Amino acid sequence: MTGFDPAWFGYGALLVLLAASLVARVDHVRLGLAVAALLALPVAILGWHGTGYTLLILAILLVNLGLIARLWLRASRVRFSAEEQLLRDRHFDGLGPAAARALIDQGHWISARRGEVLIRENEAAPCLFYLAEGAAAVRRDGQDVGAVADGALIGEATVLDGAHATGTVVLTSASRLWFIPAAGLRAYLTAQPDVAAALHEGFARALRGKLASANARIADRPPLP
């Protein structure tokens, strides 16, 4: 009876790496890398190598170079209008061109009139909005408590978890908006975890900017008599 050949572990690890190179989801790639590392451990300990091992490494290299070239070509062909590019620069800069293009295409561009209500107090935000041009007021219990200028996201604080908004957002001028329905956004991000991570960073940055603006407005208010 022949002894155990560690070559099977080496081939198994490389085949898993090759398969991981072909999947689209980042979490699946990470799982593949973990499995490949586990399989390669006996090979590293026993110091085995061979011609087949080298050929598989070469195959992995060629496949990944091909995928990188394809991604580069795809990114080089992506085009954005001026307002789309501004949206990307302001809020989706953590995404590559193809991912940003796909996300923007999930939403819609509209022109809206003054007085349109985007989000209602004590209700879940129906959409994530980007105010490309125009202005909006934030009202709580019927009183103005804040303002939203062009370039801002609206609804980013609650759109992903479905929590109720703490204020009503109403347009105070004719406006240009991009929006994506909340349910559609959540479904899209569930299927695209790498996009979700980048979007969370953009949302956090937008919220920090709003908080800084609110603090500045409070600091500028005259003291009460």
Q: Judging by beta carbons within 10 Å of its beta carbon (0-12, 13-18, 19+), is residue 75 exposed, middle or buried?
A: middle
Whole-number pLDDT of residue 51: 61
Whole-number pLDDT of residue 94: 85
pTM of the complete model: 0.66
Which residues, at least 6 apart from 148, have a Cβ–Cβ distance to it below 8 Å?
A: 131, 135, 136, 137, 138, 154, 169
Residue 154 vs residue 202, higher pLDDT: 154
Q: In DSSP terms, which residues pair with 124 in a beta bridge?
A: 164
Could you write out the DSSP letters of every residue in 101-165?
Answer: HHHHHTSEEEEE-TT-EEE-TTSB-SEEEEEEESEEEEEETTEEEEEEETT-EESTTTTTTTPBP
- Does the structure show a pLDDT above 70 at 219? no
pLDDT in tens, 91-100: 998 888 888 9
Whole-number pLDDT of residue 131: 97
Whole-number pLDDT of residue 208: 72
CA distance 86 to 32: 37
* Mean per-residue pLDDT, 165-189: 96
CA distances from 34 to 8, 63, 164, 188 (A): 17, 19, 40, 26
Whole-number pLDDT of residue 127: 97
Whole-number pLDDT of residue 223: 47
Residue 162 vs residue 45, higher pLDDT: 162
Whole-number pLDDT of residue 184: 95
